[in-house]
Copies of this chain bind each other. A is one copy, B any other.
Amino acid sequence: MEAFDTNVVPVRWEGNWKSGVLHMLDQRLLPGEETWYSMTTAEEVAKGIKDMVIRGAPAIGIAAAYGVAFGVRAAGASFKSGTAEAEALFELLKNTRPTAVNLFWALNRMQALLVETDAMDHNARVDRLFEEAKAIMDEDRANNLAMGKFGADLMPDGARILTHCNTGGLATGGYGTALGVIRATNAAGKLKHVWVDETRPYLQGARLTAWECMKDDLPSTLITDNMAGYFMQQGQVDAVIVGTDRVAANGDVANKIGTYSLAVLCKHHGIPFYVAAPISTIDLDTPTGAEIEIEQRSAREVTHIKDVGIAPEGVNVAHPAFDVTPAELVTGIVTEAGVASAPYGASLAGLTYSPQ
With an 8 Å Cβ cutoff, the count of chain A residues facing the other chain is 53
A residues with a Cβ closer than 8 A to B are 30-32, 197-201, 203, 206-207, 210-211, 214, 219-231, 233, 257-258, 260-261, 264-265, 267-268, 302-303, 305-306, 308-318, 320, 323
Name A's interface SS.
Answer: mixed
Contact A198 B302 (CB under 8 A): yes
- Give CA–CA (A224, B30) in the complex, Å: 22
Residue from B214, B225, B323 in contact with A312 in the complex, judged by beta carbons closer than 8 Å: B214
Given contacts A200-B200, A265-B264, contact A315 B222 (CB under 8 A): yes
Q: List chain B residues, Cβ under 8 A from A310.
A: 198, 203, 206-207, 305
Q: List chain B residues, Cβ under 8 A from A220.
A: 316
Q: List chain B residues, Cβ under 8 A from A305.
A: 305, 308, 310
A131 shortest CB reach to chain B, Å? 35
Contact B318 A231 (CB under 8 A): yes
- Give CA–CA (A22, B178) in the complex, Å: 56
Residue of B nearest to A203 (CB): B310
Contact B207 A311 (CB under 8 A): yes
Kindly name the residue among A203, A224, A323 whose own CB sees the greatest number of chain B CB atoms within 10 A. Answer: A224
Residue from B225, B260, B268, B312 in contact with A264 in the complex, judged by beta carbons closer than 8 Å: B268
Residue from B224, B264, B267, B323 in contact with A257 in the complex, judged by beta carbons closer than 8 Å: B224
Residue of B nearest to A268 (CB): B264
- Give CA–CA (A47, B3) in the complex, Å: 61
Residue from B200, B214, B265, B312 in contact with A261 in the complex, judged by beta carbons closer than 8 Å: B265
Given contacts A268-B267, A303-B222, contact A227 B320 (CB under 8 A): yes
Contact B233 A260 (CB under 8 A): yes
Residue from B198, B210, B261 in contact with A230 in the complex, judged by beta carbons closer than 8 Å: B261
Contact A309 B32 (CB under 8 A): yes
Given contacts A260-B233, A312-B31, contact A303 B200 (CB under 8 A): no
A65 shortest CB reach to chain B, Å? 30
Q: List chain B residues, Cβ under 8 A from A231.
A: 318
Q: List chain B residues, Cβ under 8 A from A320.
A: 227, 230
- Give CA–CA (A315, B214) in the complex, Å: 7
A202 shortest CB reach to chain B, Å? 10
Contact B314 A257 (CB under 8 A): no
Instruction: List 4 A-B pairs, minimum CB-CB distance, nearest first.
Output: A226-B258, A229-B261, A31-B312, A200-B224
Contact A210 B31 (CB under 8 A): no
Contact B318 A223 (CB under 8 A): yes
**18 A-B pairs in the complex with CB atoms less than 8 angstroms apart:** A198-B302, A198-B310, A199-B226, A200-B224, A201-B224, A207-B311, A214-B314, A214-B315, A219-B316, A220-B316, A224-B225, A224-B257, A227-B257, A229-B260, A230-B260, A265-B265, A267-B268, A305-B310
